[in-house]
Amino acid sequence: MNRRAITLSDVASAAKVSIATVSRALTAPNKLRPDTLARINETIETLGYVANGSARALASRRSLTVGALIPAIDNPSFANTVQTLQKTLGAAGYMLLLACHDFSPAAERRLARTLIERGVDGLVLLGTEHEPELFALLERHHIPYVLTWALATDTRRPCVGFDNQNAAISLTEHLLELGHVEFAMISGVTATNERARERAAGVRAALQRRGIELPPERYAERPYTLQNGRDGLIEVLRHAPRPTAVICGNDVLAIGAIAECAAIGLHVPDEISITGFDDMEIASMLQPGLTTMHFPTGEMGELAARQLLQAIAGGPLPPRRELPVRLVVRGTTAPPLAGAPRREQLTRIAGD
């Protein structure tokens, strides 16, 4: 026995509102009174109504979907941005479609094309450096977009992000003020990541102001994983004199480095200071807590969503929005101790 499909008119009749009000509940729920919206949503659930997305998209010229392209889905900091992005878009009746390109510009361009073919109304991109072909694709199809996590040098590009280089300078100056002069850095891979590149540049700039160099043997680039934090620490400790401060490109690398310090008996922070970037939730729960730079990643996702929704609605898109960052000093940094590392520590490091 075939059952007739539930229509928008059926929902309106059962909820005792107009068809236009039901339509508004589906496309712009923030414009309805909470009690009216709740009644309509309850009726939709009771009747089992499912909107015809294709028909609605044809009628409104909008799909009520937004795409987001991120490098890695397992990065907790990116996840925090995606969470607030989804929450803000959802409150406006939009769905977020997420795609991961694993730091590959070519993969990012292919995924962007796929999302455009699926009819997204806008795109959120992580980072500011992308292939020219990607920007040309967005402009050709008139797709509004927002860049996040960094600040574009091209003032035509709308962005919501942080000054990663100045953040790195502030973090390095904290270690310099503690008295450190022997530095190392475990950076993210800079080739396809301007955030990692700007952080490394900030560290070098702060050190050069004090006449301190960062030797090649004390600089390692690693993808953002815990194991790479451990491996990176082993690499930068191979040569004497041992650094007394290691700056890590993000909190994940820093936590891996701290784990390796524990494995080889190197005490943090008495014998070596470790820092991160991002201020992930776990950073405050470590013992000792991780000194890091706090980035308001959640606020960034919300602002990016609001700006993109404004652009989709035909409003102006602000070209640049810089969010403040702050140094969070915890227990993994302290003034350096005088003296060389214990012989057994150097033996272990040299043998790995």
Q: Does 107 lie in the same domain as 197?
A: no
DSSP string, 34-73: HHHHHHHHHHHHHHT----HHHHHHHHS--SEEEEEES-T
Check if the beta carbon of residue 257 is closer than 8 Å to that of residue 236. no
Please check whether residue 2 lies inside any domain of the structure: no
DSSP string, 146-182: EEESS--SSTTS-EEE--HHHHHHHHHHHHHHHT---
Q: H-helix or E-strand containing 85? A: helix 76-91
Please check whether residue 220 lies inside any domain of the structure: yes
Within 13 Å of residue 42, how many CA atoms lie on the same side as its CB? 9
Q: Does 210 lie in the same domain as 100?
A: no
Q: What is the CATH number of the domain that holds 20?
A: 1.10.260.40
- Its domain, for residue 134, covers 64-162+296-323
Check if the beta carbon of residue 182 is closer than 8 Å to that of residue 242. yes
> In total, how many domains does the chain have?
3
Q: Does 209 lie in the same domain as 171?
A: yes
Q: Does 342 lie in the same domain as 222?
A: yes
Please check whether residue 103 lies inside any domain of the structure: yes
Per-residue pLDDT of the chain (352 residues; tens, 9 = 90+): 345 678 888 899 999 999 889 888 877 787 889 999 999 989 988 887 766 554 454 444 568 999 999 988 877 788 889 999 999 999 998 999 999 998 899 899 999 999 988 889 999 999 998 999 999 999 988 999 999 999 988 878 899 999 999 999 999 999 999 999 999 999 999 998 999 999 999 999 999 999 999 999 999 999 999 999 999 999 999 988 999 999 999 999 999 999 999 999 999 999 999 999 999 999 999 999 999 999 999 999 999 999 999 999 888 877 889 999 999 999 999 999 864 444 344 444 434 4
Q: Does 233 lie in the same domain as 114?
A: no
Q: Does 333 lie in the same domain as 193?
A: yes
Q: What is the CATH number of the domain that holds 230?
A: 3.40.50.2300
Q: Does 275 lie in the same domain as 237?
A: yes
Please check whether residue 128 lies inside any domain of the structure: yes
Q: Does 273 lie in the same domain as 219?
A: yes
